[in-house]
Structure 1
Amino acid sequence: MAPSLKSRWASGEVTLGAWCMIPEPLTAEALGRAGFDWVLVDMQHGCMDYETALNMIRAIDLTPALPIVRVPWNDPGIIGRMLDAGALGIVIPMIQTAEDARRAVDACLYPPKGRRS
């Protein structure tokens, strides 16, 4: 198993990723095969529904790249759903306060560290 992005970043390694706003699994797969370490599926901008994001994660899973999702907003349901779909990282936009950050972390972690169900 390849080392996680978190451990790679902690060791000072630089990784290269692609940001994908095009709601097309074939595009996500092509980016994953292009040599990137990770591909981010951007649900915040553009017109991407859950099923498309799921299929893009599946397409990235066919490649050496790791799937990351930027959710549209700080919502525990959306965050949990994307983690359940196989996202190995979540980017949560518009975090303005410490409470926003706590809610975001709670949505990503199972009890007792968080509130993910």
Structure 2
Amino acid sequence: MSLRRLVKEALRMRPDRLVVGEVRDAEALDLLLALNTGVPGAATIHANSAPDALRKLGSLPLLAGRNIDRDFLLPAIAASVGLVVHCRRDADGRRAVVEIVAPTGRVVDGVVETRTLFGGAPA
């Protein structure tokens, strides 16, 4: 059973929240659709920085093959994602939070606008 199907089945159960581990494919579309219906949630995605995670989240749903584009996806991400926390392994192998950004709810020049809350390069 695919992660996409699991996300869809979970939504049929009217969850209080949706947690999706390791979004790597077209299930990102179902996650965004769920978040935009008011279902609170969390997900993990592999990226090199918090802004990179948002860019990746804007690309993965295109793999669903549906009639969607970035003009739909970017505002959906800006409206539904509250925080992006980027972690990195330190020299001892422990994970540490190195950056936190918050989308402002706006898309500027084809990019989800963020403000840096912790670490990272200033937006």
TM-score range, shorter chain: 0.3 to 0.5
Counting helix residues as a fraction of each chain, which structure ranks higher?
A: 1
**TM-score normalised according to structure 2 size:** 0.44
Q: Report the structure, 1 or 2, having the larger strand content.
A: 2
